[in-house]
Amino acid sequence: MSTIATTTDAAAVRALFEANSRAWGDTEAFAGTFTEDADYVTFFGGRMTGRHAIAEGHRGLFEGVLKGSRLYAEIEDLAFPAPGIALVHSRGAVLKGKRTRPSARALSVQTYVMTRGADGRWLIRVFQNTRHRPRVEAFSNWLAHRFGPRGK
């Protein structure tokens, strides 16, 4: 965590992260953790722009295939690149049934940009969700090492 942020900011950002996870399944509460002009990118590349679109994009899921599911989310890194801006990297997945931990295949890498509004409230401005593929990552790292500037 950079020195730009206060301990209070870090606690507020972590609380927002937790509130977003707890709100999973409740369309209005979930969308309420995002700014009015938020940008949301799904793991398959779909994009929702604005709180209303995020709500409508999740409503059918929460009432259908994801009904009763829960969100697993764990912060890996938290930084404050500028005052009032937080950058969060996390791992997350949707849990169904009695699962308490995601399978490796279901895990995603997530990036959040959170902003503090004029009222002091933190909300999610940007969310990017990318499905984690360990074998692809390992192969990509091998290629970079093998054929990159140091591999020659």
Q: Is the pLDDT of residue 20 over 50?
A: yes
- Kindly report the number of other CB atoms within 10 A of residue 137's CB atom: 11
| Residue 149, CA distances (Å) to 112, 122, 137, 144 in order | 32, 42, 19, 8
Say what the pTM is: 0.85
Q: Is the pLDDT of residue 5 over 70?
A: no
User: In the chain, where are the structural domains located?
Assistant: 7-147
- Grade residue 152 by pLDDT with cuts at 50, 70 and 90: low
CATH number of 7-147: 3.10.450.50
8 A C-beta contact, residue 41 and residue 64 = no
Q: Is the pLDDT of residue 2 over 50?
A: no
Nearest-angstrom CA–CA distance, 87 and 19:
16
Residues 20-36, mean pLDDT to the nearest whole number: 98
